[in-house]
Amino acid sequence: MHEENDDILEQITSSEYKYGFVTDIEADEAPKGLSEDTVRFISAKKNEPAWMLENRLKAYRHWLTMEEPKWPNVEYPPINYQDIIYYSAPKQKIAPDSLDDIDPELRKTFEKLGISLNEQKRLTGVAVDAVIDSVSVATTFKEELSKVGVIFCSMSEAIQDHPELIQKYLGSVVPATDNFFSALNAAVFSDGSFCFIPKGVRCPMELSTYFRINAANTGQFERTLIVAEDEAYVSYLEGCTAPMRDENQLHAAVVEIVAMEKAEVKYSTVQNWYPGDKDGKGGIYNFVTKRGICAGAHAKISWTQVETGSSITWKYPSVILKGDYSIGEFYSVAVTNNFQQADTGTKMVHLGKNTKSRIVSKGISAGKSQNSYRGLVSVAKNAGNARNFSQCDSLLLGDKCGAHTFPYIEVKNNTAVVEHEATTSKIGEDQIFYCNQRGIDTETAVALIVNGFAKEVMNQLPMEFAVEAQKLLAISLEGSVG
For residue 417, the minimal CB distance to other proteins (Å) is 26
Least separation in angstroms between CB 7 and other proteins: 11
Taking the C-alpha atoms of residue 127 and residue 141, their distance in angstroms, rounded to an integer, is: 6
- Would you say 177 or 436 has its CB closer to other proteins? 436
**Which of 189, 194, 453, 465 forms a contact with other proteins (CB under 8 A)?**
453
What ranges make up the beta strands (E) of 198-336? Answer: 206-212, 223-228, 233-241, 248-251, 254-259, 264-271, 283-294, 300-307, 312-315, 318-321, 327-336
The helix/strand/coil state of 66 is coil
- Other CB atoms within 10 Å distance of the CB of residue 140: 24
Site string for other proteins, 254-283 (x = CB under 8 A): ------------------------------
Interatomic CA distance for residues 153 and 196, integer angstroms? 9
**Total interface residues for other proteins by CB under 8 A:** 26
Alpha helices in 200-243 (DSSP H): none
Taking phi over 0 as left and psi of -120 to 50 as alpha, with beta for the rest, 287 belongs to: beta
- For residues 366 to 405, the per-residue mask of contacts with other proteins, x marking binding by CB under 8 A and - elsewhere, is ----------------------------------------
Per-residue binding string, other proteins, 2-41, x by CB under 8 A, is --xx------------------------------------
Contact predicate 416/387, CB 8 Å:
yes
Tell me, residue by residue from 412 to 451, as one string, x for binding to other proteins by CB under 8 A and - for no binding.
-------------x--xxxx-xxxxxxxxxx-x---xx-x
Nearer to other proteins, 51 or 433 (CB): 433
Q: Select from 1, 50, 123, 463 the one that contacts other proteins (CB under 8 A).
A: 1
Q: Give me the half-sphere count of Cα atoms (radius 13 Å) on the Cβ side of residue 173.
A: 28
Residue number, 448 or 466, with CB nearest to other proteins: 448
Q: Pick from 204, 73, 49, 207: which is nearest to 140 by CA?
A: 207
Q: How far is the CB of 394 from other proteins (least distance, A)?
A: 13
Shortest Cβ distance from residue 4 to other proteins (Å)?
6
136, 211, 268 from 17: Cα distances, Å: 24, 16, 22
CB of 1 to other proteins, least distance (A): 5
Least gap, CB of 337 to other proteins (angstroms): 20
Q: Give the residue among 371, 366, 257 at the shortest CA–CA distance from 322.
A: 257
Residues that bind other proteins (CB under 8 A): 1, 4-5, 425, 428-431, 433-442, 444, 448-449, 451-455
